[in-house]
Structure 1
Amino acid sequence: MATPTVVLLPVWGVGHLMSMLEAGKRLLARSGGALSLTVLVMQAPTESYRSDVAAHVRREEASGLDIHFHHLPAVEPPTEYVGGEDFISRFVELHAAHVKAAISGLTCPVAALIIDFFGTTLLDVSRELAVPCYVYFTASAAMYALFLRLPRLHEEVTVEFEEMEGNVDVPGLPPVPPSALPTPMMDRTKPRYAWFVYHGRRFMEARGVIVNTAGELERSVLAAIADGRCTQGVPAPTVYPIGPVVSLNPPADPPHECVRWLDAQPPASVVLLCFGGGGFSTATQAHEIARGLERSGHRFLWVLRGPPAAGTGQPSDADLAELLPEGFLEKTKEKGMVWPTKAPQKEILAHAAVGGFVTHGGWNSVLESLWFGVPMVPWPLYAEQHLNAFTMVAYLGVAVAMEVDRKRNNFVDASELERAVKTLMDGESEDGRKVREKCAEMKAVCRKAVEEGGSSYAALCRLSEEMRKGAVRASK
C-alpha cells in the first residue's frame, strides 16, 4: 500500500510557508517513514512572492525527503479588500475547489490536511472529504488564545476597543491594554476584523491546532486554552506546541558581508536592527533612527529597507543617500554598518558579537532571537506585532519596552530609541540585566523543548501517532 500522506496548505508569505514546511519535515522525521508530505502550492499574487516561493520549492525538492509538491491552478486575486488579512483569507477561500480536486486525486491514503490559520474556510473541504483537518498557527499561543476569546469579546465590547474602559481579559495573560491589540482589531467596521472573529470561531472545528511555541514558554496561556477558559468552558481542539520551529541552514560560504563585519566586533557589543520581510523606513523615520543610534554610542548593524515600489507590496532596497542624514555613515563608520537590502537574520543573531535586537516583533523573529539568547527591543509595525511586543515585555520578560506612537504610523523618536538601546546594551542597567538573564534562560528552555524527550518533541510524537492511526482508519 502507498505511504499515507499529510497534505500541507501553506500561504505564500515566507514567515508562513517556511515555518509550515519546517514543521512538516519534523513531522515526517518523527513518523519513521510511516508518513509522506504533499504540499499544495498556491500561485502567489505577485511576481516577487512567486519568485520567493519557487526558490523555496526548488530547495526542498532537492533535499531528497519524501515531499511532493502539487501546484494548484491560479485564481484571480481579489481586487477590493481592506488589509492583508482580508486579502489572504479571501484569496485562500477562492482555492476551495482546487484543493478539493487535488486531495481527491491523490492515489495514496490521506492521513490529514494541515491548513494555515488564515485558511479556515477550507475546513468545509476537509469535512466533505472526511479528512482530519489541523490548523498550523505560526503566531504565539497568546495570539491563539486571543483568537479563541474574540467571538465572545466581540459581544461583550460594543465600542471600538481603544474606547473601552479598562483592559482586555485574555486568560493566561496579564491584563492586555487595548493599545496592545493586533492591528486588524483596531477598527471593528473593517472586513479584516470580521475575518478575525470568523477564524476565531472556526478554529473550534479543527481536529487539532499546531502552535509554533514551546510548552514552557507560554505555560499559563496553554493551560488556559486547555481548561476552556478562552472558550467559556467549551473544550477547544487539542493544542500541539511543537516549537520553536526554526529552520537552521548551514552558514553561507563565503560568509555574508554582514557576518564578516561582525567578526571584527567585540562579543555582545552590537545591536541589530531588522524589521522583517515587510518592515521599511521613510526618510523621516530613518533620520530619527540614525540620530538615536549615534547618540546611544553603541555599535550597530542596521538592516535598512526603503518603501515598496509601486505594485510590489514588499520593501525596496534602501537608497542610503536619500534615507540617511548627510554625514551619518562617515561619522559612524567605526561603530556601525548599514545594510540596504535583505540580510541573513538567523546567521547574524547567531553571531557572538550581537548583544541585542531591535525587532518588529514578528513571532518567527522572536523565536529566532530566543533560540540564540538575544534580548530584544520590540518595535511593532503591523499584524499581531503589538500584542507580541506586550507579551515580550509583560509576560515573557525578554525585552525592554520602547514607546511606539501607534497613531503616527508606529513612529519612534530618536531619544526613545537611544534610551531603549542604552537600557538593553549598557552593562550597568538593572532592567537590561534582567532581560538578558531571562533571554539566556529561555534559550535553554527552547533548545531543551525540541530535543528528544523535550516537551515539543513529545507533542510532535503525539501528533504523528494520531495521524498514523487516522491513516490506518482511512485505508480500511
Structure 2
Amino acid sequence: MANRPTIVLLPIWGTGHLMPMLEAGKRLLARGGDLSLTVLNMAPPTPESAAEVTDLVRREEAAIAAGQADTIHFHNLPIIEHPPNLLEMDDFISELVQLHVPHVRDAIAGLKSPVAAMIIDFFCTPVLDVSGELGIPTYVYFAGNASTFALLLSLESNKGKEDTVDVPGLPPVPRSSLPSPLQDEASKSYKWFVYHSRRYMEATGIIINTAAELESNVLAAIADRAPPIYPIGPVLSLKPPADEPHECVRWLDTQPPASVVFLCFGSMGSFTAAQVREIAEGLERSEQRFLWVLRSPPAEGGMHPTDANLEELLPDGFLERTKGKGMVWPTMAPQKEILAHVAVGGFVTHCGWNSVLESLWFGVPMVTWPLYAEQHFNAFTLVADLGVAVGMKMDREMGNWVESWELERAVKCLMGSSEEGRKVREKAMVMKVACWKALENGGSSYTAVQRLYARAAGGQNVETPSTVEDI
C-alpha cells in the first residue's frame, strides 16, 4: 500500500555504512506491522563507490521483486557539487552531508507515506535540523562499536590530555591508539567529530552495531550519558554459499582444520611493494599455512586498490616455496565464506568493525593490523578489552609499517601453543557463542530490536526492558 507508514533511512554511500543500516532496517520490518523502508541515497563521490552502490541497490531491488514487493524503496537524492579542497575524508563526508540537508527535507516532504521515524548515519547529524522541524523521531545508526561511540562522547572531557585518554568502560587508552583525526585537536576533522558528538544528544535514540555481551562494561558506563541505546548487533549480511565454491574455498577444503591464517585488509586496504616483501618473509618464516588476499595500491586518481601482479610484488620463488601450504589471491575474495571455513584458525585483519564482527561470528581469533579511520582504536579494544586478538608493533608514521619478524611473532603466537594464543582463541569462541545467543529469540539484541520497534514503529504488546542495564 502506498500510504503505509515508512521508516526513512539516510546512510552515507560507503557499503560499510549502507549495508549494515539496510540490514538493521530489515530487522525492523521482520518484527511485523504494516511498514516499509525508504532509503535516501546520496550520490557517491567516485566512480568506484558509485558502481558498488548501484550494484547493491540492483541486487536488493531484484530480491524485493522476487518476494518483498512494496516494502523497501530507494530514492536517489539530487547530485550536488562536491565540497572543494578537502583533504580529510571525515571533513568531506560531513560537509557533503550538510549540503544535502535541503534535499533531504524536500525528499521527505514529497513522500506519499507518513514517516514513522528516521534512522540516520552517525555522520548525518546536520539532518537533525530537518527531523526536528518536522517532528519526526530520529535515531542515529552507529556502524562502529560502542567503544568508539563512547570515545566520541568523551572528546571534550579528554581535551588537552597528552599521554592517555579516559573512555567510559575501557582501560586508559594511549593517544597513539586514537583515530588520526582525533589526535590533532586543532584540525577541522576533530571539530566535526565534536559537533557530531554534541548532536547525538538530540537524537531519539542511538542504534549500535554491537551486542550487549560484547561490550557490557562500555554500554553500562554510557547508559546515563546518551539517549536510549539499542545494541542490536551483530548486524551482518549472511547469505548461503554460492552453488559453485570460490577457488579460495576449494583450496581451503584441502587444508587441515584450524590450520590456516587468513590475511585480508578490507575494500580499501593495500600495501607498498616493500611492505608486501616483509609480509611474505614473515609468513614464510612462521611456517604457518596461510591464505593471503593481496591487492595493489589504487591507480593514480583512484581510491580503491587494484588487482595485484603477484610476479612483480612477491619475492622470487615465494609462491613455489610455499606451494601447498600457502595461497595468495590477487583480487577481492568472499571474506565471510572464508572465515566460516573449518580450515581457518586465525585472521590478520585491518580491524574494520564489520570484519571484526564477521570474525567473531565465526569464532576466529585475530591479529590486528589497523590501517585508517577508527581501526587503531578498534585494535586497542580487541586486545586490551575484548581479549580476542594478538596485537602487533607498528610504525604509524611510516604508513603502519610492520617488520617481517613482528608479523612472524604474532602469527606464531595466534596459531601456536603459546598461553597468549590459547587464551585469545578461547575468548573468540566465547564471543561467538555470545553473538549467536544475542540474536536468538529472547536474546539481548533480539530484545533491543523489539524495544526499538515498539518505540520507532509503533509495535504493540511488546514486553521489553527499558534500559541497556536491563539487557
TM-score by length of 1: 0.94
2:98 match: 93
Q: Distance in 1 between matches of 2:179 and 2:107?
A: 34
Is the Cα–Cα contact under 8 Å of residues 308 and 315 in structure 1 kept in the other structure?
A: yes
Task: Percent identity, please.
Answer: 66
Following superposition, which runs of at least 4 residues in structure 1 exceed 3 angstroms of deviation? none
1:288 match: 278
Q: Distance in 2 between matches of 1:345 and 1:126?
A: 37
1:421 to 2:411 alignment: yes
1:470 offset after TM fit, Å? 9.5
Q: Distance in 2 between matches of 1:470 and 1:260?
A: 45
- 2:458 aligns to what SS in structure 1? helix
1:152 offset after TM fit, Å? 2.8
1:265 offset after TM fit, Å? 0.6
1:151 match: 156
1:23 match: 24
User: Which has the higher mean CA deviation after the structures are superposed, 56-65 or 203-212?
Assistant: 56-65
1:53 to 2:53 alignment: yes
- 2:155 aligns to what SS in structure 1? helix
- 2:432 aligns to what SS in structure 1? helix
Q: Distance in 2 between matches of 1:376 and 1:34?
A: 42
2:13 match: 12
Is the Cα–Cα contact under 8 Å of residues 151 and 197 in structure 1 kept in the other structure?
A: yes
Q: Which residue identity is paired with 2:288?
A: H
Choose from 192, 195, 200 the match for 1:198: 195
- 2:323 aligns to what SS in structure 1? coil
1:400 to 2:397 alignment: no
Q: Which residue identity is paired with 1:214?
A: A
Q: Distance in 2 between matches of 1:321 and 1:15?
A: 31
1:468 offset after TM fit, Å? 2.4
Is the Cα–Cα contact under 8 Å of residues 15 and 364 in structure 1 kept in the other structure?
A: yes
Aligned residues: 454
1:336 offset after TM fit, Å? 0.6
**Deviation digits for residues 168-205 of structure 1, max 9, x if unmatched?**
11110111111111121122232111111111111111
1:207 to 2:204 alignment: yes
Q: Which residue identity is paired with 1:47?
A: P
- 2:173 aligns to what SS in structure 1? coil
Q: Distance in 1 between matches of 2:105 and 2:143?
A: 24
Q: Which residue identity is paired with 2:91?
A: D
User: Which has the higher mean CA deviation after the structures are superposed, 76-85 or 348-357?
Assistant: 76-85
Q: Which residue identity is paired with 2:218?
A: V
Choose from 248, 264, 268 the match for 1:258: 248
1:35 match: 35
Q: Distance in 1 between matches of 2:391 and 2:18?
A: 30
Q: Distance in 2 between matches of 1:57 and 1:251?
A: 20
Q: Which residue identity is paired with 2:11?
A: P
1:97 offset after TM fit, Å? 1.0
Q: Which residue identity is paired with 1:430?
A: E
1:424 offset after TM fit, Å? 0.3
1:321 offset after TM fit, Å? 2.1
**Deviation digits for residues 98-132 of structure 1, max 9, x if unmatched?**
11101111111101111110111111111122111
1:297 match: 287
Label 1:91 to 1:470 Cα distance change in 2 as closer, same or farther (>3 A): farther
Q: Distance in 2 between matches of 1:454 and 1:379?
A: 32
1:70 to 2:75 alignment: yes
Is the Cα–Cα contact under 8 Å of residues 453 and 459 in structure 2 kept in the other structure?
A: no
1:319 match: 309
Q: Distance in 1 between matches of 2:422 and 2:205?
A: 39
**Deviation digits for residues 399-420 of structure 1, max 9, x if unmatched?**
0111121121110000000000
Alignment of 1:37-186 (within 5 A): 37-64=37-64, 65=68, 66-154=71-159, 157=160, 164-165=162-163, 167-186=164-183
1:23 offset after TM fit, Å? 0.7
- 1:377 aligns to what SS in structure 2? strand
Q: Which runs of 5+ in 1 are unaligned?
A: 229-235, 472-476
**Deviation digits for residues 318-371 of structure 1, max 9, x if unmatched?**
121222112111111121111111111000000000000000000101000000
TM-score by length of 2: 0.94
Is the Cα–Cα contact under 8 Å of residues 209 and 239 in structure 1 kept in the other structure?
A: yes
1:441 to 2:442 alignment: no
Q: Distance in 1 between matches of 2:101 and 2:301?
A: 26
Q: Which residue identity is paired with 2:56?
A: H
2:463 match: none
Q: Which runs of 5+ in 2 are unaligned?
A: 461-471
- 2:214 aligns to what SS in structure 1? coil
- 2:431 aligns to what SS in structure 1? helix
- The alignment's C-alpha RMSD in Å is 1.3
Is the Cα–Cα contact under 8 Å of residues 14 and 49 in structure 2 kept in the other structure?
A: yes
Is the Cα–Cα contact under 8 Å of residues 449 and 457 in structure 1 kept in the other structure?
A: yes
Q: Distance in 2 between matches of 1:33 and 1:290?
A: 54
Q: Distance in 2 between matches of 1:439 and 1:125?
A: 42
